[in-house]
Each structure stands twice: as structure tokens, then as C-alpha cells.
Amino acid sequence: MAIEPEMIRNVCMIGHRGSGKTSLAEGMLGIASGRSFRVERVLDFAEDEAERGMTLGMSVAQTEWKGRHINILDTPGDGGFIGDAFIAQRVADCAILVVHAQDPIQVVTERVWRRGEKEGIPHIIVVNHLDRERADFGAVLEELRERFGQSVVPLNLPIGREDGFEGVYGLLTDIAYVGGEQKHEIPPGMEDEVNEAKVQLFEAVAESDDTLLEKYLEGEELTSEETFEGIRKGISEGLIIPVLAASAEKMVGVDRILDIIAGSAPSPADKSRWASEDGKEVPCDSDGPFSAYVFKTYVDPYAGRLSVMRVVGGRCRSDEALTNPRSGSAERLGSISHLMGKDRESADEAVAGDIIAVPKLRDTMTFDTLCKPEKTISYEVIELPEPTTAFAVGAKTRGEEEKVFEAIKRVVDEDPSLRLERSEATSEDLLSGLAQMHVEFALERIHARYGIEVDARAPKVPFMETISGSASAQGRYKKQTGGRGQFGDARIELSPLERGEGFEFDNAIVGGAIPRQFIPAVEKGVVEAMAEGPIAGYPVVDVKVRLYDGAFHSVDSSEAAFKVAGSMAFKSAFEDSRPILLEPFVKVEVLAPTELVGDIMGDLSGRRGRPMGMEQRGERQVVQAEVPQVEMLTYARDLRSITGGRANFHAEFGHYEEVPPNLVEKVLAANEREEEKETV
């Protein structure tokens, strides 16, 4: 029988790379299973994760603790893989922000915190690595309060410092937890520290409820029940952000994290954070209409697809008949299971608030909704960061094109932060990601899983060619090889159009100088010639061609001959019309701390960028600029280097402009060099 929503706890582990999220999560799994040590390789189970010692994708594990069913979502801490952390913050009901005691506020710490505020998810902070040198819990607490507000309060304190860190003192229980033993006394020398921390904590508890605040201000002591209820309510409403001390390496304080998750973290029933696409709030009601949201897809070359979903409302059993509103197709759930990393534990039933895995759904993708046919509902796709790095991809071996793109599509389905698109401007297939490493790891995963090598190189910048003047030219094609010959004569006038107007063909023939049936052939010849301009072979745009005269032969003229004549006339007129090279400009928005704005502006100016303004967004500045696209080929990695990863950017196509004549050779050479350099 399924557990009810009130007993479920869904938490996601978020934080910067190296903070110890996975170690803490595997420590919790170990303790919950009756061990005194971490269970390793449960969450980072992929071979490439083990090789690099870092989390590359979200993993899910469920466990039981003190009557609570806990689903733990472990996420990457590198900015190049932050998409999974954003997804987890949408799906979970509470975020466990893990910070490093030696450097608590790092780049990804800031980014996941801001996303959490946007999602309205409650937070619990864990200060890990307190056994390291120079680890100072008090200093970290002050830094956290300065950055995240006075609602950040300690729930326990470390006993001992650095290598001597051996336990924690619970401020609510007045119990010292050391080496598996409990002592109802304040450790010697910690009296002042405990009293000061209790003031912070009890003030926050009182402020979480008007009745408690009134009682507190009147000097009355809060009961244990009132205090614990105040903590639970305060966390759920974001009024209290408790801080816990821990060391995953020494397994100190890990069980206290489990305790607060089980006792004080919100259940799915406490606070509804789900709304349908039409904006209607969807309560976590196990007796309501069934709906589930697919937030992760695993694709195994042998076992097939596994869809991981959050049950938003209702309940379901194996073999349930459902519908997918996006595709309109029917789906049957098959077996239901809970995940323990890569392993699955069968379940008879799933209820609102739970997280389950279902294999081999026919037509369901990541971010799809499943529901009952008689009560359809859809949830919005989760907003992910825009890709910043792209590679043009294809098959290295001729004949393997279909295999290559099928493998790429599977990896993209697993990781929706990746994007596969076709560029019509350059006729390239582009695989984009959040960082160069993000895309490279995806390509490595394809090779390891499917034995396929993907040819990847920097994408072409879609330059264009046009003219700045007018000219007339004749195209005369005459060929006689015995028997019937070929003859076509076309005279055209070429003139520039306004930027963005494309191509215009004006048939000004009068008196039958060229028979009507041959006019389309002339236009076709012109259009084909426009595909490769004479400057560097880029397409020609923004020109008007006026066909005003010509000649024909009653026997030898043909469509083929006039097509050649049209092409010849265009090429000749183009060379006399002052041809110019056009380059695309992109609109760039860079979000960065105020102190880095000067460096960013200077770098953009060095890329021939034009500042277009600045605006305040929260505690950060948004720098807006227009920059030639060819100057942005290395921007993702350069910005990371300039800002230490503390800034991120968005770029979208803006418009085309003429390349200054003195820079034509330089920008074309830069494009070619980057194509060679970026080949993977």
C-alpha cells in the first residue's frame, strides 16, 4: 500500500561543485539503511562520473527515516550542468543547499539560490567540511546571514574545530551528539556561543507566527511543541532558513540532517507549488484527478528508456491507462518503481507527491505530463538556462549519419539543457549546451555508449554578401557543338535593397526580347548564382535584379541556356556594384555582480561591441550590448575566465551590418581559425 503525501519528503541537494552534496546524500542513505558509513557509487553511478569524481547529471534515491518516505534528488554543482539543479528545484519540496566551510558563497551557490527564490522553494543550509583547516562555523554563518538575510539561523552548532570536529549540539533539543552518544549538557566553553545562537533561533521561530511572537515578546517561554511547529511552519513559508553543521568525510551531523528532513521539511501536502499551464493551482490531493510530470529520462542502450516523474495529484497503479496531452497518444504505465540510483525497487502504487520511475513509455519525453484521458491537464516546461556553446555536428564515418543523430537525440532527451537544431543559414546541425565541457561530455557519452564517433567543430558564422552600388551587365551564353546549339542572352541591372529585404526580381522585358517561357529560367540562374558570392562564397542578400533586355534564337534557345545567361549576367554585374561583406550582430545580455561590470564592458568593447545600456536586476547588473557574432566564438569560456564563473549571458540574433573593409580578411580568418581550433 502506498504511503500518503503527508509522510513523503522530497528534497534536492544543490550547491557548488566540491561542496560535498553527493557525499552527504550517500551518508544519509547509509545511516538510513542501518550503516555507520556512506554507501558509495549509488548516486554517481555512471562510469564517466566515477572517472572524473564529479556529478554530471541528476540522480534519485529513496529511503525511509523515522516513518518518513524520503526522495533525495542529487544534482551537479558545476555551472555547465546546472540545468538539472534547476529542474530538481521545481520538482522537490525543499532544497538542501550545501556550502563548503572554507568558501561558502561560490558561483553556483548564488545561481541555485536565485533560482530557488524564483521557484519559491524552502531551503535548509548545510555547512559541510567543518573538519577542514580554517573552517569557522561562526564566520560562515555570518557570511550566509549577510548574503541571504536574517532568516538564516543555526539549528545546531559544531562541537570542536577543524580536525577536532567531533559532534554537534542541538539548540532545540539541548543535546550534544558526539560519537553516537547523546549528552544533555552544553559542552564546556560553548555556553556563550549556545546562548547567542538560541537568541537568533528563537527570535526567528517567534516571528514565524503572530501568536508565538506575542508570547515571546511578553517574556513567556515557548513550549517544545510550539517551537518545533514554528520551525516546521517557518521553513515551509521561507521565514526560517535553518543551518546545520556537518562533515560528510567524518560522518558527523549527517543523521541530524535526516532528522530535520523527516521532522521539519515540508511534505508535498504542506504547500502546493504546482499550477497547470492555464494557471490553475493543483493541490496535492491523493483522491483527486491523476497527473504526473516527467522531469528526467534515462536512456540505456540495452534496457531502453526509463521515465522519472513526480506524481502531482491522484494515485496510480501498474498497468494504468493514461494519456499524453502534448502528443495526444495513449500510454500504459507498466511497472512502477522507486529509484535507488541506477537500481529500482518495485512499488504497487504511487500517490500524489511521490517520485516514481516507469520504463518504456512509447511517446513520452522529458517535461511531458501524463494524466487520465477523462481529465486532461498539462504542466509548463521548466525554464532552463540558454545554451552558450555550440558545435556543428555530423558523422565522422560516411554512412553512419542516421546512427549518429539517433544517438545525439537520445542524449538530448536525457539532458534537456542540451539542444539539437538545424541552422538554415549555414546548413549545419548544431549541438548546443551550457558550457564547452557540457557538450564535450555529451559527445564522450555517445562514443562510450554507442561506439559512435561524432565529428564536432565550431559552427560557421553566417556571413552574407551584398552590394553598395548599382551596375548593369550582359550574360550571353552561346554554344555550338554540331546539331542543335545553346543560346541565351540576358541583360540585367543590379541595385541594392534595404537591409533585410532579401531579393527582388523585376521582369522589365518588353516587345518579346526574351520569350515569356524563358524568364523564370533567367531568375533561377540569378538565384543559384546568389548562393555563393564572389567575396568569400557566402550567400548574397538584399539585391534587386531588373531584367530589361536580351536576345534569343528561335531554334537554339532553351531554359538551360537562359539559366546560364542569367547566372553570368548576375556575377558580372555583382563585381561592378561595389560588393561588401555583411556580418551578423547579436544582442548580448550579461548578468554579473556590479564589481565586474567594468571588466565586462572593456572586454565587449575589445570585441567591437557597442554598449546599449545597463540595468539593475536584483543585486546584479545587466550589461546590454550589440556585438559581431564572429567576435563571440570564444565568449563563453572567456567570460568564465574573466569573472571566475560569476557571470552568465544570453545572446540572440540582432541584425546584419557591413564589415569595415579593413577588417574583412581579419574576420574571415578568425572564423576559419576557430573552426579548426574548436574541433573535438
The residue-averaged pLDDT of 162-166 equals: 95
* Angle between helix 191-207 and 224-236 (nearest 10): 70
Residues 609 and 555 grouped into a single domain: no
pLDDT at residue 522 tops 70: yes
258 part of a folded domain: yes
Where is the domain boundary, 227, 246, 263? 263
Domain that includes residue 643, residue range: 582-677
156-159, long-range: CB < 8 A, 24+ apart: 156/244, 156/245, 156/253, 156/256, 157/190, 157/193, 157/194, 157/197, 157/245, 158/130, 158/245, 158/253, 159/187, 159/190
The pLDDT tens digits for 58-81 are 999 999 999 999 999 999 998 889
Q: What is the pLDDT of residues 179-237, one digit of tens each?
A: 889 999 999 999 999 999 998 998 888 887 778 778 777 777 777 888 888 899 999 99
The pLDDT score that the predictor gives to residue 670 is 66
Q: Which of 419, 413, 412 is nearest to 385 (CA)?
A: 419
Q: What residues are paired with 70 via a beta bridge?
A: 9, 63
| 50 in the same domain as 148 | yes
CATH of the domain at 663: 3.30.70.240
pLDDT at 679 over 70: no
Q: Which of 577, 612, 645 is the last residue of a domain?
A: 577
Cβ(314)–Cβ(352) below 8 Å: yes
Q: Is 455 exposed, middle or buried (0-12, 13-18, 19+ CB in 10 A)?
A: middle
Cα 244 to the center of its chain, rounded Å: 29
492 and 625 inside one domain: no
The enclosing domain of 565 has a CATH number of 3.30.230.10
The reply to whether 281 falls in a domain is no
- For residues 556 and 639, state if they share a domain: no
- The whole-number average pLDDT for the span 42-55 is 86
Grid coordinates representing 185? Answer: 549538557
Q: Are strands 464-467 and 579-593 parallel, antiparallel or unpaired?
A: antiparallel
Q: What is the pLDDT of residues 346-399, one digit of tens each?
A: 998 999 999 999 999 989 999 999 999 999 999 999 999 888 888 999 998 888
Mean pLDDT, the chain, whole residue set: 91
Q: CA-to-CA distance for 578 and 466, rounded, in angstroms?
A: 9
62 and 141 part of one domain: yes
**Residues whose CB falls within 8 Å of the CB of residue 462, separated by 6 or more in sequence, listed in order:** 423, 425, 426, 538, 584, 629
- Taking the C-alpha atoms of residue 342 and residue 349, their distance in angstroms, rounded to an integer, is 20
Under 8 Å between Cβ of 113 and 148: yes
Strand, coil or helix: what is 419? strand
Same domain? For 61 and 80 the reply is yes
Question: Has residue 485 got a pLDDT over 90?
Answer: no
279 found inside a domain: no
Beta-bridge partners for 168? 158, 177
**408 and 476 co-located in one domain:** no
Residues 398, 406: Cα–Cα separation, whole Å? 15
Query: Taking 80 as the threshold, does the pLDDT of residue 618 lie above it?
Result: no
Between 252 and 48, the higher pLDDT residue: 252
Please give the grid coordinates belonging to residue 285.
490531493
Q: Examine residue 586 and state whether it is found in any structural domain, yes or no.
A: yes
pLDDT (tens digit per residue) in 628-647: 988 888 888 899 899 988 88
What is the chain's length? 680
For residue 273, tell me if it sits in a domain. Answer: no
Grid cell locating 312: 502531482
Could you tell me the CATH number of the domain that includes residue 298? 2.40.30.10
Q: Do 554 and 664 reside in the same domain of the chain? A: no
403 and 428 inside one domain: yes
Split into its structural domains, the chain has a count of: 5
60 belongs to a structural domain: yes
- What gap in Å lies between CA 545 and CA 492, rounded to an integer? 6
Same domain for 214 and 166? yes
Other C-beta atoms lying within 10 Å of the C-beta of residue 222: 17
Whether residue 533 sits in one domain with residue 609 = no
Report whether 564 contacts 525 (CB < 8 A): yes
- The Cα diameter of the chain in Å comes to 115
Query: Strand 620-628 to strand 610-617: parallel, antiparallel, or no bridges (unpaired)?
Result: antiparallel
Q: How far is CA 5 from the centre of its chain?
A: 29
Which of 551, 577, 603 lies at the terminal end of a domain, its last residue? 577
Q: How far is the CA of 116 from the CAs of 12, 154, 471, in angstroms?
A: 11, 20, 61
Least confident piece of the model among 355-359, 550-554, 618-622: 618-622
In a domain, 274, yes or no: no
Q: What is the pLDDT of residues 97-119, one digit of tens each?
A: 999 999 898 888 988 999 999 99
Q: 287, 375 in Cβ contact below 8 A?
A: no
Q: Which three cell numbers stand for residue 274?
A: 504546482
Q: Which amino acid is it at 390?
A: A
Give 447's contacts (C-beta < 8 A, 6+ positions apart). 453, 454
Q: What is the CATH number of the domain that holds 247?
A: 3.40.50.300
Q: What is the CATH number of the domain that holds 437?
A: 3.30.70.870
Domain assignment present for 283: no
Residues 57 and 131 in one domain: yes
